[in-house]
């Protein structure tokens, strides 16, 4: 009996410990990065407010997957524009531009189909000498679910590299036009 009780005790203790540790993991993850784009701020801004172009650079969507289905609601440019997607690899989600100050600021909300996670992000544009510094801030609210907290904890640094790649993709798309 002692031989079966000891492994059970270790398992219960481990699960309890992991659960308690999850209370100390962050509920919000913030990423902020910037890049200089060789274009005027109005060109960068007009690219960003066109929600149909987000599928070309966004790391939330597997852009090379031909099975992604996109649905756009309302005007595809500016405040209130909505993009929904459904995909076997990245799931489903909704992106909405909620605030713009032309040509220097854009704010959005992102909701994925799973979990409590909600993301709010913004782009700030600062023009200097014909170049634009694009500052991207992204805040993801994980909620209190321990599994989601651990998942985000381990994926955060991987996603930071994808975040940076998305900035480079924006730069590449704008500078080629």
Predicted pLDDT of residue 30: 93
The pLDDT assigned to 112 comes to: 83
- In this structure, the number of other CB atoms found within 10 A of the CB of residue 119 comes to 19
| Overall average pLDDT of the 73-100 stretch | 90
pLDDT mean over 10-24: 90
Give me the domains of the chain, ranges plus CATH numbers. 29-176 (3.30.530.20)
Maximum CA pair distance of the chain? 77
User: In 74-130, which ranges are E strands?
Assistant: 82-87, 91-101, 105-112, 118-128
More confident residue, 85 or 96: 96
pLDDT for residue 122? 98
Specify the pLDDT at position 142. Answer: 87
User: DSSP 3-state assignment of 142?
Assistant: coil
Most confident of 12-21, 126-135, 145-154: 126-135
Instruction: Quickly count: other Cβ atoms within 10 Å of residue 11's Cβ.
Output: 10
Residue 120: both structure tokens together: 């709010």
Q: Show the tokens assigned to 83.
A: 């993009």
Q: Quick one: tokens of 101?
A: 């100050």
CA atoms within 13 A on the CB side of 120: 5
**pLDDT tens string 27-67:** 999 999 999 999 999 999 999 999 999 988 988 776 667 78
Contacts of 79 by beta carbon, 8 Å cutoff, 6+ apart: 97, 98, 99, 100
Q: What is the pLDDT of residue 63?
A: 64
Q: What are phi and psi of 115, to 5 degrees?
A: 70, -175
Name the strand (E) or helix (H) holding 6: helix 2-22
Q: What is the pLDDT of residue 1?
A: 63
């Amino acid at each position: 009996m002692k031989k079966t009780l000891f492994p059970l005790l270790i398992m219960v203790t481990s699960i309890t410990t992991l659960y308690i540790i999850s209370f100390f993991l962050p509920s919000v993850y913030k990423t902020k990065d910037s890049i200089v784009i060789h274009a005027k701020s109005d060109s960068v801004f007009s690219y960003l407010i066109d929600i149909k172009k987000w599928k070309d650079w966004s790391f939330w969507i597997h852009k090379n997957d031909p099975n992604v289905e996109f649905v756009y609601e309302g005007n595809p440019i500016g405040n209130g524009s909505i993009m929904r997607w459904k995909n076997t690899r990245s799931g489903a989600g909704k992106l909405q531009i909620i605030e713009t100050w032309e040509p220097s600021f854009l704010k959005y909300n992102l909701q994925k189909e799973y979990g409590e996670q909600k993301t709010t992000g913004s782009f700030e544009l600062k023009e200097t000498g014909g170049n634009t510094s694009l500052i991207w801030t992204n805040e993801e609210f994980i909620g209190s679910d321990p599994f989601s907290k651990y998942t985000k904890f381990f994926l955060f640094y991987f996603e930071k590299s994808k975040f940076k790649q998305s900035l480079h993709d924006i730069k590449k798309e704008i500078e080629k036009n």
